Amino acid sequence: MTREIFEAEHEDFRQTARTFFEKEVVPDHGQWEKDGIVPRDLWLKAGEAGLLCFDVDEAYGGPGVADFRYNVVLSEEQSRAGVSGPGFSVHSDIIVPYISSLATDEQKQRWLPGCVSGEIITAIAMTEPGAGSDLQGIRTTAIDKGDHYVVNGSKTFISNGINADLVIVVARTDPEAGHKGISLLVVERGMEGFERGRNLDKIGLHAQDTAELSFTDVMVPKENLLGKEGDGFISLMMNLPQERLIIAAQAAAVCDLMVELCLDYAKTREAFGRPIGKFQNTRFTIAEMATEARITRVFVDDCITKHNRGELDATGASMAKYWATELQNKLVNQAVQLHGGYGYMMEYPVARAYLDSRISTIYGGTTEIQKEIIGRSLGL
């Protein structure tokens, strides 16, 4: 399918990204899945290859390319390669934009060059054991002590949590102010009282480190307040559409991949003396998969175009995230069924995709949360 949203330079970059994943990630990804983490060296290689933080201004060591299509291309190629370990998207598409948009010049000088080079790995700590999609249920506190805050609380399901050097912590600076009492604080590796718990044992995404974090009387200097005190909730709401869009783009890429894998398998796998693609049920199943994947691709690409123009609203992002991730899980499930026993074997990419895809309807806001946002936009 020809995709009109991309230009020649994006397709050139696609080859760069594809080569990087095939050379630097695919050969070792199986071992990293056993280890539960990718090595920090990979981040340095990605930084050297220019694959991190495209929109960071040149003044802070970045390429200064404010074109989200490059972010999409990188995520698509990672999805296509079936290597879920590197948390590049979490870093470049979700976390670093908070620093770029909210940080002071001094903070940007301190943090952004390392984010671009891969020397600094980032994470964001929102989810707590008792607060997931409901950010207003946050209990982690940051008490003002004059020239610093004292942070106490715990977070869980934190992507890049083990490797992270900087963690944007969502905390309550005013327990009585509701959502207006939430602020963003940057906790740095080595701060006393900041501890990492276990690297969580997940169903899928085995090579992507996901941690529990705890904060016990962590002294965070006022210089590490990100944005204005009390504006944390608003800042999170402003950046969530981009997070949901990149998840939708990744899901659409997996949908395309499932169609491709099923087509190849249907043409080569034989049963009862002929390729299984010659059976009507197989043809109909793949025809439906291809049609649904195409519809989703057109919609998500339209959302990407709108986002690049600054026109994608929260409702559109929620629609894209809800629809694409639900279809991703549907098509991955169909692909496993079509592959039969081989689809249940981890050496086949459809089996790995089956495990890795399940989280897509949960992280970045569950499907139910997306439907709630859409429903409210309709006046319900």
Chain length of the chain:
380
Annotated catalytic residue 260: no
- The Cα 97–Cα 242 span in angstroms is 10
The one catalytic residue among 188, 243, 311, 368: 243
Residue among 341, 304, 335, 345 nearest 321 (CA):
304
CA–CA separation, 221 and 146 (whole Å): 9
Q: Rounded distance, CA 132 to CA 128, Å?
A: 6
Pairing of strands 166-172, 122-125: parallel
Q: Catalytic amino acids?
A: 243
